[in-house]
């Protein structure tokens, strides 16, 4: 399978991990949701991220899921999250998934990091642990990790570590960071791929600032694909029209901690997975929220029809 590199663009969907109501991994649904993402415009997939309930999996399950998705995705590149409290676990999981055919690995900084030097030092070691030649995605997600990475520090990491080929950008607010990174590249620094997260909440603006696409999840991945494609084609108004139609639900899914139950509810409703179940701990969507989601979907469908 091809490896990702700094030219990656489009939409890498953060895949959910489907579970059976009893708690086991639902491998049939895993195949189905993989197909679902690819049919709706994903140019890549990312698995075992935070929204993939990765910390709730055993290592054995994590490998089995990786193998299944990579096999199903065929020529479509699959990035695997390998963040772990220690470097030995990073190394072990990275070697395993690259053997299985992953296109690269994604690493977020542990929440204990504070100073610029600590962050730079950690990624130096983590890239070493990922293995020689393995493409690495740097996940910059301060809201979840508590680690703030200055644009200049990302720059030094990019200069010193050629294996870093992509930034999963989900700093918030982070538009100025995209601009700063692209300016430094225009002034001579090696270009990397920037794919944006945060559920796509700022996707039109991020594309206009120079992002190459999205790496995030949303129950309607076709929106991400269309917005990225239109924006890349310079059709910013059409991109924003489509985005706006989905925005009420994007916003609703973006509730920290509660959003995954929303996403799985909609994916199950759309037939992409058999059950909306989260693995414990993780509550199903309460009835009030179901009603809210249904109302947003009905409005969204009307709006899309108007848009044509």
The least CB distance from residue 227 to its own copies, in Å, is 13
The least CB distance from residue 39 to its own copies, in Å, is 28
The interface region with its own copies, picked from 13-21, 28-36, 225-233, 292-300 by CB under 8 A, is 292-300
Please tell me the distance from the alpha carbon of residue 252 to that of residue 218, in angstroms, as a whole number: 11
Reduce the DSSP state of residue 52 to 3 states and report it.
helix
The interface region with its own copies, picked from 3-11, 185-193, 251-259, 270-278 by CB under 8 A, is 251-259
Single out the residue of 286, 294, 301, 307 in contact with its own copies (rule: CB under 8 A): 286
Single out the residue of 2, 28, 39, 88 in contact with its own copies (rule: CB under 8 A): 88
The smaller minimum CB distance to its own copies, of residues 52 and 77, is found at 52
Please tell me the distance from the alpha carbon of residue 31 to that of residue 189, in angstroms, as a whole number: 40
137 contacts: CB under 8 Å, gap ≥ 6:
4, 46, 79, 104, 105, 106, 107, 164, 165, 166, 167, 168, 215
Judged by CB under 8 A, the chain residues 148 through 167 that form the site for its own copies are: 148-150, 152-153
Please tell me the distance from the alpha carbon of residue 280 to that of residue 117, in angstroms, as a whole number: 37
The interface region with its own copies, picked from 39-47, 70-78, 85-93, 133-141 by CB under 8 A, is 85-93
Alpha carbon separation from 260 to 10, 252, 267 (Å, rounded) = 23, 10, 10
Contacts with its own copies by CB under 8 A: the residue count is: 62
Beta strands 193-196 and 164-169 are parallel
208 binds its own copies (CB under 8 A): yes
- Are the beta carbons of 277 and 264 closer than 8 angstroms? yes
The least CB distance from residue 113 to its own copies, in Å, is 9
- Are the beta carbons of 130 and 161 closer than 8 angstroms? no
Please tell me the distance from the alpha carbon of residue 144 to that of residue 151, in angstroms, as a whole number: 18
The 34-53 site mask, x for binding its own copies (CB under 8 A), equals --------------------
234 binds its own copies (CB under 8 A): no
The least CB distance from residue 297 to its own copies, in Å, is 13
The least CB distance from residue 150 to its own copies, in Å, is 4
186 binds its own copies (CB under 8 A): no
147 contacts: CB under 8 Å, gap ≥ 6:
109, 110, 111, 113, 114, 119
Residue carrying structure tokens 């559920």: 199
Cα–Cα–Cα angle for 85, 63, 268, rounded to 5 degrees: 100
- Write out the residues near its own copies by the rule CB under 8 A: 54-61, 84-89, 91-92, 111, 114-118, 121-122, 125, 147-150, 152-153, 172-173, 175-176, 179, 201-202, 205, 208-209, 240, 243-244, 247-248, 251-252, 255-259, 279-281, 286, 288-289, 292, 295, 299
């Amino acid at each position: 399978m091809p490896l990702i590199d700094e030219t990656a663009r489009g939409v890498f969907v953060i895949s959910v991990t489907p579970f059976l109501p009893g708690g086991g991994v639902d491998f049939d649904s895993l195949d189905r949701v993989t197909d679902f993402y690819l049919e709706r415009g994903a140019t890549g997939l990312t698995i075992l991220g935070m929204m993939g309930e990765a910390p709730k999996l055993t290592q054995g399950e994590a490998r089995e899921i990786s193998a299944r998705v990579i096999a199903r995705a065929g020529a479509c590149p699959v990035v695997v999250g390998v963040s772990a409290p220690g470097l030995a676990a990073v190394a072990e999981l990275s070697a395993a998934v690259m053997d299985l055919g992953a296109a690269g690995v994604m690493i977020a900084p542990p929440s204990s990091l504070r100073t610029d030097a600590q962050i730079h030092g950690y990624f130096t070691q983590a890239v070493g642990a990922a293995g020689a030649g393995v493409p690495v995605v740097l996940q910059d997600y301060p809201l979840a990790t508590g680690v703030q990475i200055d644009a200049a520090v990302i720059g030094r990491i990019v200069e010193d570590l050629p294996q870093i080929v992509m930034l999963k950008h989900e700093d918030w607010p982070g538009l100025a960071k995209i601009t700063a990174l692209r300016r430094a590249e225009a002034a001579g620094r090696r270009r990397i791929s920037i794919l944006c997260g945060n559920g796509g909440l700022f996707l039109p603006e991020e594309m206009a600032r120079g992002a190459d696409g999205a790496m995030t999840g949303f129950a309607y991945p076709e929106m991400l694909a269309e917005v990225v494609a239109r924006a890349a084609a310079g059709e910013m108004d059409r991109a924003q029209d489509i985005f706006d139609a989905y925005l009420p639900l994007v916003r609703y899914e973006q509730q920290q901690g509660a959003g995954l139950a929303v996403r799985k509810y909609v994916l199950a409703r759309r037939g992409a997975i058999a059950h909306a179940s989260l693995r414990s701990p993780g509550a199903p969507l309460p009835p009030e929220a179901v009603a809210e989601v249904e109302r947003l979907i009905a409005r969204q469908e009307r709006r899309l029809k108007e848009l044509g």
